A and B are shown apart, each in its own frame.
Chain A
Amino acid sequence: MTSDRAFFTPATLRLIAAAIIVVNGFFPAVWILLTSFKPELELVQKPITYLPQDFTVQNYVQVFAQQPLGLYLLNSVVVATASTIVTLVVSAFAAYAIARLRLRHRDLILAAIIASSTFPLVTLLVPIFETMRTLGILNTYPALILPYVVLSLPVCTLVLVSFFQSIPRDLENAAMIDGATRFGALWRVVVPLAAPGVFTAGILAFVNSWDEFLLALSLNSAVRMRTLPVGIALYQGEFTFPWHIISAALVIAIVPIAVLIALFQERVVGGLTAGGMKG
């Protein structure tokens, strides 16, 4: 009994709890990292190995040589970056109007924007496909950028509305009394104070775009226009699913997003819960 107590000190329990969370969160990523360093033959031997027995980086060389992974990476970066920037501009405009300006049906407008996020994307797939085909932009970057802006618009607007509301209106009024125009006050007072909110919203938008699969699969299916999730999911081996190549590709695709959230984790958590709590 006493020895039990001595072992299960609060510190030990905390360590066990942390270990459970860390293993749950990291195990799949770590396992795919280990897999990526095993040669193809080691992946099809039994019993399976845990740590690489015959360590190699050949998979990383092959993945760029055999598959246009560099191109997929470029496509993902372009689409995610462009859609994030456009989302931020559009949602900051909307959020400022909702949070700050005299507006009829303020709540209704916000509710309409949020409601649009609950529509199943797949039901709108064909009409969006037809629209993009009519505009002649299937298999181009804008075909994904436009819907991705709409995808992130609700959560970004929600985050930014709450940020704008947290900035004292008096600061803005004071600037305007001092002779600043509304845009001057917006640019010099509101924007700097809202920067953390804009940044948080930006990360959420970037992750949304980076992760999206269904539209990327359906609208930009040409090999040269595939984003990372589609490109990797559609890898075909000559005989079997090429897990050694896939694992290296997955590592390369996960690292950017993992670094992003590792650097800005507090902001991401804040944004997620602000968006979530509001809803």
Chain B
Amino acid sequence: MIARVRGVERFADPGERTLAALLLAPAAVLLALIVVYPIGKLVYNAFFDLRLSGGQHAPFVGFDNFASALQDGIFWNAVWVTVSITIISTIGALLVGLALALLANLPYRIQWPVRLALLLPWAMPLAFAGLIFAWFFNTDYGVVNDWLMRIGIAPRSWLLSPGTAYAAVCITLVWKSASFIALILLAGLQMIPRSLYEAAEVDGATRLQQFREVTLPLLVPSIVVALIFRTIAGLQTFDIPYTMTKGGPAHATQTLAMLIHDTTIDYGDIGYGSALAVLMFLLSMVVTALYLRRIQRD
């Protein structure tokens, strides 16, 4: 019976499997060239003392590159900066994004200014956000210090000392990513049925209770999605610190992505840089695994 049905299907459209394979081929080739092969090559490189400028023969060094990385204070500093910047900017962007989403969910007669105001920070290149905020935080002529002086606070050399440079980078990341989170949460808010609020109102729930008992629980799926996206992006933070601080001062804003870029592209130390990249890869795999589990549940 099953065989017959299969036979009929095959008769109906003999080439469907072939067609599917053909249609998937371009994507497969590109992914193989730009993702799969590079991952293999990356792991391979990490076991050699490979220099960009070096000759053909790079000596095999086993796990030496990894051992050096694990003993390197600059590596651990970059891990700490990456993880802490990701956590801080994710929490900050989630809170700001939630506030923006709640405000944007009010019944406006004209929608486009609000929508465009949420889209513009998302569409703006990270590098531009970094440059613009570097100008905001400029010690002498920045608007941030101007505001501080107006309310009687002494101006700071924001990007020139470690603590404030770190804070400035975090603020910029929060501004840049909060809008995207707001758009995702706004879509989540708009899917909550009005009848739930009406029912809560009938039960005498206050606005705050409605928020806590209706809005937040129903928004959790959207929040999780936003968190995953933001975490994946946060671990890769590069453009904003590169354009604002170049990782300084004193490595205070040097993320793993920057350390890897500097080690490999700028200093040409491919072997060591690849070991760093493998370690970063493992770190991000944890997040990817969470993400994939999430997709499977849907």
Q: Report A's interface with B, CB cutoff 8 A.
A: 13-14, 17-18, 20-22, 24-26, 28-29, 31-32, 35, 43-44, 46-48, 89-91, 93-94, 96-98, 101-103, 107, 109, 111-116, 118-131, 146-147, 149-150, 153, 157, 182, 207, 210-214, 217-218, 228-230, 232-233, 243, 246-247, 250, 253-254, 257-258, 260-262, 265-266, 268-269, 272-273, 276-279
- A207 in contact with B123 (CB, 8 Å): yes
Q: Chain B residues near A182: list those with CB within 8 A.
A: 13, 19
- Among listed B63-71, B204-212, B275-283, interface-contacting one: B275-283
Cα of A96 to Cα of B19 in the assembled complex, Å: 10
**A103 touches which of B20, B119, B123 (Cβ 8 Å):** B20
12 A-B pairs whose Cβ atoms sit less than 8 Å apart in the complex: A91-B27, A107-B296, A111-B295, A123-B280, A129-B264, A131-B33, A150-B31, A211-B125, A214-B257, A277-B225, A279-B294, A279-B295
Question: Would you give the shortest CB distance from B28 to chain A, in whole angstroms?
Answer: 8
Cα of A25 to Cα of B127 in the assembled complex, Å: 16
- A43 in contact with B35 (CB, 8 Å): no
B203 sits at the interface (CB 8 A): no
Known contacts A98-B24, A102-B13, A125-B260; 11 further A-B pairs (Cβ under 8 A):
A14-B107, A25-B179, A28-B121, A97-B19, A101-B17, A122-B261, A125-B264, A153-B27, A182-B19, A233-B127, A276-B226
Question: Would you give the shortest CB distance from A241 to chain B, in whole angstroms?
Answer: 8
B80 sits at the interface (CB 8 A): no
Q: Report B's interface with A, CB cutoff 8 A.
A: 9, 13, 16-17, 19-21, 23-24, 26-27, 30-31, 33-35, 37-39, 41-42, 45, 100, 103-104, 106-108, 112-133, 135-136, 138, 140-143, 146, 175, 178-180, 183-184, 187, 222, 225-226, 228-229, 232, 235-236, 238-239, 242-243, 256-257, 260-261, 264-265, 270, 273-274, 277-278, 280-281, 284, 287-288, 291-292, 294-296, 298
How many contacting A-B pairs (Cβ < 8 A)? 292
Question: Would you give the shortest CB distance from A121 to chain B, in whole angstroms?
Answer: 6
A268 nearest CB neighbor, chain B only: B119
Cα of A87 to Cα of B118 in the assembled complex, Å: 26
